[in-house]
A and B are shown apart, each in its own frame.
Chain A
Amino acid sequence: MAVRVQCEDFDLGFEMAVLRAESTNIGALVSFSGLVRDDMGDLQTLELEHYPSMTTKALAEIEAEACRRWNLNATLIIHRYGSLKPGEQIMMVAVASRHRKVAFEAADFLMDFLKSRAPFWKKETGIGGAEWVDAKEDDEAFLKRW
């Protein structure tokens, strides 16, 4: 069970290998990584601002809730902040459990809560100027699934 908030990039393969090595009782390892997407081909940077004294606490609470709901062997959340380029990794979650369905569900849960309960804000700078990314209306509705 770990939460890391960092500016630097991470190695998804390495992190998965670390989780896999933790125990031989793991039958399923699910990961998700979010990337900086450039839809129109004009994105220069994505600036990720966060609320340092709240971020780690909020992520740890989300992770703890997942661990209360499912029987998990291990979880990992890494979320970056700072200035990122198109194609870069923004964050990852990984869930290790004995069986597949639990790992998929818990990863899905973590992502839904990260979207609208982790104190991050994204600002896109492109050729035409800079703009804050609005939260999607669906994001809040997705929380009600759980």
Chain B
Amino acid sequence: MGLLFEILAVLAGAKNVKLEVVYFAWVRERIGVPRETVQTEAETVAALVTELRAREDRYDLVFSDVSVVRVALDQTLSDFDAPLDGVSEVAFFPPMTGG
């Protein structure tokens, strides 16, 4: 079924990409898992956030104020407007507190 769905999706021209999504600190605690694979059609980080928020309350809650959430794409700090083209790992976390 999964394969059939994927073939149909490709035929329909839908962009369907698998992303590794990782979470840290209180973002990880509130989402409830440290990492997950997400199937998405999102072309930007912001679109991915919108998709996640629509899924379940826990995502909606974490991303209700993105001013307190940072994002890294393939281990490099990025921003919510950034495209997901070619990206394999997206990380969401609170502002960093090193030192």
Q: Are B26 and A118 in contact (CB under 8 A)?
A: no
How many B residues touch the partner, as a band? 10 to 19
Q: Are A121 and B25 in contact (CB under 8 A)?
A: yes
With contact pairs A49-B24, A49-B25, A132-B26 given, residues A120 and B97 touching in the complex (Cβ less than 8 Å)? yes
| Chain A facing B: main interface SS | mixed
With contact pairs A53-B75, A54-B72, A54-B75 given, residues A114 and B99 touching in the complex (Cβ less than 8 Å)? yes
Interface residues of A in 109-135 (CB under 8 A from B): 111, 114-123, 132-135
**Interface-side segment among B10-18, B53-61, B87-95:** B87-95
Bound CA span A116–B94, Å: 10
A34 within 8 A of B: yes
Q: Are A121 and B75 in contact (CB under 8 A)?
A: no
Taking CB atoms, residues of chain A closer than 8 Å to B24 are: 49-51, 119, 121
Q: Are A116 and B75 in contact (CB under 8 A)?
A: no
A142 to chain B, nearest CB (A): 11
Q: Are B99 and A121 in contact (CB under 8 A)?
A: no
Q: Which residues of B contact A (CB under 8 A)?
A: 22, 24-26, 72, 75-77, 89, 91, 93-99
